[in-house]
């Protein structure tokens, strides 16, 4: 009696996904929970709590590297990091990442078009610092530190078990849940949102980022770019809206807009989110399966959707 290759792959895939999620949540939460308690005055730590918040953001990256190394060795880690390369990624994906990632600016644009007031000096000062802000976000504020894990490991593994849309919907919810300890800090950007609204925003972002990752042939650079654009847009939005940026109406507008954009992409791609159909039945050629390909031999060339 022979064993189906697919049947033998499934437990290994489950182990990778579980290992990544345990590592990502565990590393981040063990740093974020005491940091949040310190920031709300419940305990006093010997280290600056802000430092722990920054270090905690690297949970997904560290978990991704650890799981990839365990299951594929150094060759798989090199293949994972190789998907951050600029070479081989069509220019249209960079443009699309910047355009779609700018959805977070919508509440500010609506406010200005409706004749709302703003502090022009504060906005100008913020815009002058946008390049530096973008660089910080891309490295330690939700770009590279997160997407190496969410898109580099979690999305490919989920899409081996689920169709692209439900896989990325689930990933959006997991992504939102990972941020939960940040609500312990009453001054955090997340604490200004009701968690349910924040989760809806991230589900929409997840569909968009998942599409760009799949359609670009598994480019982590594109995932980092769209995530960084989202977060940079958040900063500009708050600069324009000021304290009104925390109003529920603006948060709900962003949630609806993010979900609408994600739904439009689902309809446009007929539910594939940029993933070629054959990859669902040929997981070894899927972007993100470099850990398995490294064990068998040279990784297959990522498939790019035109």
Number of domains within the chain: 1
In a domain, 93, yes or no: yes
Average pLDDT of span 129-144: 94
Closest CA to 64 of 106, 104, 115, 24: 24
In a domain, 301, yes or no: no
Instruction: Say whether pLDDT at 282 is over 80.
Output: no
In a domain, 71, yes or no: yes
**How large a percentage of the chain has pLDDT more than 70?**
87
Instruction: Say whether pLDDT at 230 is over 90.
Output: yes
Instruction: Say whether pLDDT at 300 is over 80.
Output: no
| pLDDT tens, position by position, 149-169 | 999 999 999 999 999 999 999
pLDDT interval class at 11 (50, 70, 90): low
Out of 36-45, 200-209, 277-286, 296-305, least confident range: 296-305
pLDDT interval class at 171 (50, 70, 90): very high
Q: Please report the pLDDT score of residue 243 as a whole number.
A: 83
In a domain, 305, yes or no: no
Q: Please report the pLDDT score of residue 245 as a whole number.
A: 87
Q: Please report the pLDDT score of residue 279 as a whole number.
A: 60
Q: Please report the pLDDT score of residue 192 as a whole number.
A: 87
Instruction: Say whether pLDDT at 280 is over 80.
Output: no
Which residues, at least 6 apart from 77, have a Cβ–Cβ distance to it below 8 Å? Answer: 65, 68, 69
* Higher per-residue pLDDT: 286 or 247: 247
Query: Which H, E and C letters describe the chain, residue by residue?
Result: CCCCHHHHHHHHHHHHHHHHHHHHHHHHHHHHHHHHHHHCCCCCCCCCHHHHHHHHCCHHHHHHHHHHHHHHHHHHHHHHHHCCCCCCCCHHHHHHHHHHHHHHHHHHHHHHHCCCCCCHHHHHHHHHCHHHHHHHHHHHCCCHHHHHHHHHHHHHHHHHHCCHHHHHHHHHHHHHHHCHHHHHCCCCCHHHCCHHHHHHHHHHHHHHHHHHHHHCCCCHHHHHHHHHHHHHHHHHHHHHHHHHHHCHHHHHHHHHHHHHHHHHHHHHCCCCCCCCHHHHCCHHHCCCCHHHHHHHCCCCCCCCCC
* Higher per-residue pLDDT: 291 or 222: 222
Specify whether the CB–CB gap between 86 and 305 falls below 8 A.
no
Instruction: Say whether pLDDT at 287 is over 80.
Output: no
Q: Please report the pLDDT score of residue 12 as a whole number.
A: 67
Instruction: Say whether pLDDT at 67 is over 80.
Output: yes
Domain that holds residue 238: 5-296
pTM of this structure: 0.88
| pLDDT tens, position by position, 95-108 | 999 999 999 999 99
Q: Please report the pLDDT score of residue 302 as a whole number.
A: 38
In a domain, 89, yes or no: yes
| pLDDT tens, position by position, 21-44 | 999 999 999 999 999 999 999 999
Instruction: Say whether pLDDT at 232 is over 60.
Output: yes
């Amino acid at each position: 009696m022979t064993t189906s290759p697919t049947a033998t792959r499934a437990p290994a895939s489950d182990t990778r996904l579980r290992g990544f999620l345990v590592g990502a949540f565990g590393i981040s939460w063990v740093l974020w929970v005491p940091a949040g308690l310190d920031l709300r005055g419940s305990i006093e730590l010997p280290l600056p709590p802000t430092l722990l918040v920054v270090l905690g953001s690297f949970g997904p990256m560290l978990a991704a590297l650890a799981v990839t190394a365990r299951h594929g060795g150094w060759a798989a880690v090199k293949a994972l990091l190789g998907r951050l390369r600029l070479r081989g990624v069509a220019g249209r994906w960079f443009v699309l990442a910047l355009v779609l990632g700018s959805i977070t600016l919508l509440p500010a644009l609506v406010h200005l078009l409706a004749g709302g007031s703003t502090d022009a000096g504060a906005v100008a000062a913020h815009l002058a610092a946008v390049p530096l802000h973008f660089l910080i976000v891309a490295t330690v504020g939700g770009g590279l530190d997160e997407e190496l894990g969410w898109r580099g490991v979690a999305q490919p593994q989920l899409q081996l078990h689920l169709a692209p849309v439900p896989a990325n919907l689930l990933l959006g919810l997991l992504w939102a849940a990972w941020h939960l300890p940040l609500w312990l800090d009453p001054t955090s950007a997340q604490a200004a949102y009701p968690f349910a609204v924040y989760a809806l925003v991230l589900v929409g972002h997840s569909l968009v980022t998942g599409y760009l990752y799949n359609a670009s042939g598994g480019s982590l650079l594109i995932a980092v770019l769209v995530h960084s654009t989202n977060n940079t847009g958040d900063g500009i939005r708050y600069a324009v809206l000021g304290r009104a940026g925390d109003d529920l109406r603006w948060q709900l507008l962003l949630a609806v807009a993010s979900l609408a954009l994600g739904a439009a992409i689902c309809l446009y791609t007929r539910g594939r989110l940029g993933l070629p159909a054959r990859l669902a039945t040929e997981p070894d050629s899927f972007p993100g399966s470099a850990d398995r390909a490294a064990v068998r031999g040279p990784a297959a060339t990522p498939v790019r959707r035109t």
